[in-house]
Amino acid sequence: MRIAVCDWMILKRQKLGAFGLAQELGADGVEVDMGPLGDRPTFENALAQPEVRERFLAEAKARKLEICSLAMSGFYAQSFAERPGVVEKMVPDCLATMTALGVKVAFLPLGKPCDLVAHPELRPLVVERLRMVGKLAEKAGVVVGIETELDATGEKKLLDELGSRAIQSYFNFSNPLKKGRDLHQELRLLGRERICQIHATDDDGYLLSENPRLDMRAVKETLAEMRWDGWLVVERSRSARDPRNVKANFGANVKYLKGIF
């Protein structure tokens, strides 16, 4: 297992300083965001510029870190199903950046506007667009990992309906935990082949080492049984005692995960 941090959560979205900070935190890599979306026709992505990409790659190499994935975090607040230009411009821009950087995984959250539990009527549009994304990702030789509000049975059904190895689950520990579902059963139901990457995190309030509802040693056993390995990416799990202290929160969480895994 390798441990990474999200650049936007350590307050270094698309900044070279994310690598220095990640190294200081003890991480092995960084999940780099594609940049803000808002009302723009596509992400505000500095990495579209070759000279910027080269600086990022050089900095990562100098720090002995990897860019484990690119994140389209703008879709936490934007509707993947309804926003114009998603398949025509936004996702292709992400895939092109991945190819240029040599990154193999993208993170695509289906956020609140596209919550398939709250808005089941959006499912046909989501399936249609994800099938198109799957074809684009297959052609690019990369994987797009989706995060949904569905339980594991529902997400498994969605992935099987899409029928593309290029669309997988980007699993987040917090999703089953906050809904009172069995985290271990969810992991097993989805299975090794459907999970491309994991946000090893929970809602803010507790550090990972202090979280009363997340037994990381038991998670390690479950993942070992599944024979799953890959990147564990810290997104949240900031302590309520000092939630704005990036170094203290993310440093403690990275250290804890490294001690377990």
For the 2-260 domain, the top CATH level (class) is: alpha beta
Give how far Cα 38 sits from Cα of 44, 48, 82, 84, Å. 9, 18, 14, 12
Three-state SS annotation for the chain: CEEEEECCCCCCCCCCHHHHHHHHHCCCEEEEECCCCCCCCCCCCHHHCHHHHHHHHHHHHHCCCEEEEEECHHHHCCCCCCCCCHHHHHHHHHHHHHHHHCCCEEEEECCHHHCCCCCHHHHHHHHHHHHHHHHHHHHHCCEEEEECCCCHHHHHHHHHHHCCCCEEEEEECHHHHHHCCCHHHHHHHHCHHHEEEEECCCCCECCHHHCCCCCHHHHHHHHHHHCCCCEEEECCCCECCCCCCHHHHHHHHHHHHHHHC
Cα 229 from Cα 218, distance rounded (Å): 15
Contact by Cβ (8 Å): 234, 5: yes
> Rounded to whole angstroms, how far apart are CA atoms 261 and 27?
13
Whether 56 and 67 have beta carbons less than 8 Å apart is answered as: yes
CA 66 to chain CA centroid, nearest Å:
15
CA pair distance 128, 152, nearest whole angstrom: 20
pLDDT of residue 146: 98
pLDDT at 20: 98
Looking at residue 13, its pLDDT comes to 98
pLDDT at 191: 97
Say what the pLDDT of residue 41 is: 96
Predicted TM-score (pTM) above 0.85: yes
Task: Write down the domain spans for the chain.
Answer: 2-260
Per-residue pLDDT of the chain (261 residues; tens, 9 = 90+): 999 999 999 999 999 999 999 999 999 999 999 999 999 999 999 999 999 999 999 999 999 999 999 999 999 999 999 999 999 999 999 999 999 999 999 999 999 999 999 999 999 999 999 999 999 999 999 999 999 999 999 999 999 999 999 999 999 999 999 999 999 999 999 999 999 999 999 999 999 999 999 999 999 999 999 999 999 999 999 999 999 999 999 999 999 999 999
d(CA 59, CA 75): 27
